[in-house]
Structure 1
Amino acid sequence: MQISVSSTLTVYHDGQFWTGLAERVEDGRYGVARIVFGAEPSNEEILRFVVNKWAKLSFFGDDPAKANEPARNPKRRTREAAKALKRPAVSTKAQQALASQHETMKRESVRARKQRHADEAEARFEQRKLKRKQKHRGH
């Protein structure tokens, strides 16, 4: 069994920070992760990031990738590379995957907050019950 993996890291300035967009296509599944570098990273910093932290990135998204076959003609590959350089740094697919990731994290946060509030209310109720019991016993 053979698994194909394709990864790209695009570093761009989003108007405020230098941001990296890591895209990965693994066995037909598309994943994306966003990294905020802050100040403009040097080539050495980017290389250090890829070597040390790439494996720790959490890629999200389960959309099957529409990876087309690479062109065999070198002139066509050159044209496609030039066209890719003219396109904006962030792809629509990456934006959708990041938005989906954000929504998932938001839903998880809401669920955890509701659970925490319910636990706190239960603890307050138990405390009041214990206090009533102690008063009833005359303590």
Structure 2
Amino acid sequence: MRKSEVSSTLTVYHDGQFWVGVVEHVESGMLSVARVVFGAEPSNEEVYAWVLERWSSLRLSAETEPVGPRAGRLPGNPKRRARAAAKAMRQHGSSTASQLALARERERVKDGRREDRAARRQDEARSRWEDRRERKRRKHRGK
């Protein structure tokens, strides 16, 4: 039986207007992400309370992006690599893979809404056509 590696990361950053949290969940090499808007700057206690209360109800995106193998790590001091990664996260908020996954999720939701709207319009048009047809039949019958 193979072990599957599972990890979740919550990154909180200020996007210029709001404090935003990006959740990156990696399971079996596949990345799922979610974006949470906190609004005002959350304290550590508020973030911890949010994790305890709402983590299980978090709506993650579909598993989209395969995460690269761990064997391809950069050589060198692991502490220096960790500092560089932390600095990049502070500057950019979240990883590029999670940003791409969030963009794909927004597009998927937008396409779904567009399809729903088109189906609803089509149903309404069909309903109006049937109503007109029924009125014409009644009028033709003299009622």
Per the normalisation by structure 1, the TM-score is: 0.89
Partner SS, residue 16 of structure 2: coil
Partner SS, residue 77 of structure 2: helix
Residue 117 of structure 1 pairs with residue 121 of structure 2: yes
Alignment counterpart, residue 68 of structure 2, candidates 63, 66, 69: 66
Q: Tell me, in whole angstroms, the C-alpha distance in 2 between the residues paired with 1:92 and 1:12.
A: 15
Residue 21 of structure 1 is matched in structure 2 by: 22
Q: Deviations over 1:44-76 (max 9, x none)?
A: 11111111211222222422111415x8xxx93
1:101 is displaced (CA, Å) by: 0.5
Identity of paired residues, percent? Answer: 45
The count of residues paired between Structure 1 and Structure 2 equals 136
Partner SS, residue 15 of structure 1: coil
- Is the Cα–Cα contact under 8 Å of residues 30 and 64 in structure 2 kept in the other structure? yes
Partner SS, residue 56 of structure 1: coil
Residue 81 of structure 2 is matched in structure 1 by: 80
Residue 32 of structure 1 is matched in structure 2 by: 33
Q: Deviations over 1:18-51 (max 9, x none)?
A: 0001001101111111100001111111111111
Residue 126 of structure 1 is matched in structure 2 by: 130
Residue 91 of structure 1 pairs with residue 92 of structure 2: no
Q: Tell me, in whole angstroms, the C-alpha distance in 2 between the residues paired with 1:33 and 1:67.
A: 22
Letter in 2 for 1:64: P
| Unpaired runs of at least 5, structure 1 | none
Q: Tell me, in whole angstroms, the C-alpha distance in 2 between the residues paired with 1:83 and 1:59.
A: 27
- Alpha-carbon RMSD across the aligned residues, in angstroms, is 1.8
**Compared CA separation, residues 12 and 77, structure 1 to 2 (3 A):** same
| Unpaired runs of at least 5, structure 2 | none
Q: Tell me, in whole angstroms, the C-alpha distance in 2 between the residues paired with 1:95 and 1:135.
A: 60
Residue 136 of structure 1 is matched in structure 2 by: 140
